[in-house]
């Protein structure tokens, strides 16, 4: 008797449902940077990811769900912690650009979304994760984009500049999502 794909030969990790802030981080122009200096890019990125894992995430109560070759998927219990960490990622990355020509510098685009997700010890699942990934595509270099849910969670604790980007149409989402650009107070470039 053949087993079906749903009959795993080992137990699957238990899923839990929780409200979390999901952060998606992507390196701007990573393909070009890797083509021009693969070893150098990989070295800088690995050192930066390690710094995030060892120093930054513990300060903000975050968890690294995945580290990708040119991005990260992070999870936080609070939106405030997620936004603070997202802004600090850009500050920390600047140290990896010192003395490099502008064309060789690393820049991040980051998105924060708060949603009910399913999580196990290895991964996070759900539409909210997909929405965070699509919002990251809206970000320019060194920008942090917030969903409306993430922005609403910050209203009572607002100590960042917020710019309303209006309703944005995201790939594979039938309805537009209101998006916001977040930045440190007083550093708005508009």
- Determine the pLDDT at residue 4: 60
For residues 85 and 25, the answer to whether their CB atoms sit within 8 Å is no
**Within a 10 A sphere around the Cβ of 159, how many other Cβ atoms?**
10
Mean pLDDT value across the chain: 91
Which residues have CB under 8 Å from 101's CB, separation 6+? none
Q: Residue for token digits 């053949």?
A: 2
pLDDT per residue as tens digits for the range 94-138: 999 999 999 999 999 999 999 999 999 899 999 999 999 999 999
- Determine the pLDDT at residue 116: 96
pLDDT per residue as tens digits for the range 56-66: 999 999 999 99
Question: Which residues, given as ranges, of the chain have pLDDT below 70?
Answer: 1-8, 155-158, 185-190
- Determine the pLDDT at residue 48: 97
């Amino acid at each position: 008797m053949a087993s079906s794909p749903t009959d795993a030969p080992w137990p699957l990790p238990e899923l839990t449902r929780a409200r979390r802030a999901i952060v998606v981080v992507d390196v701007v122009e990573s393909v070009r940077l890797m083509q021009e200096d693969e070893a150098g890019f990989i070295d800088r990125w690995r050192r930066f990811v390690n710094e995030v894992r060892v120093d930054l995430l513990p300060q903000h109560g975050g968890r690294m769900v995945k580290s990708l070759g040119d991005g990260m998927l992070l999870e936080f219990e609070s939106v405030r912690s997620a936004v603070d960490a997202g802004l600090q990622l850009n500050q920390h990355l600047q140290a990896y650009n010192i003395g490099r020509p502008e064309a060789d510098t690393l820049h991040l685009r980051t998105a924060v979304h708060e949603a009910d997700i399913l999580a196990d010890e290895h991964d996070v699942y759900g539409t909210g994760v997909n929405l965070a990934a699509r919002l990251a595509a809206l970000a320019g270099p060194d920008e942090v984009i917030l969903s409306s849910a993430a922005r609403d969670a910050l209203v009572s604790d607002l100590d960042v500049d917020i710019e309303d980007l209006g309703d944005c149409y995201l790939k594979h989402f039938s309805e537009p999502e209101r998006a916001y650009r977040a930045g440190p107070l007083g550093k708005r470039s508009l």
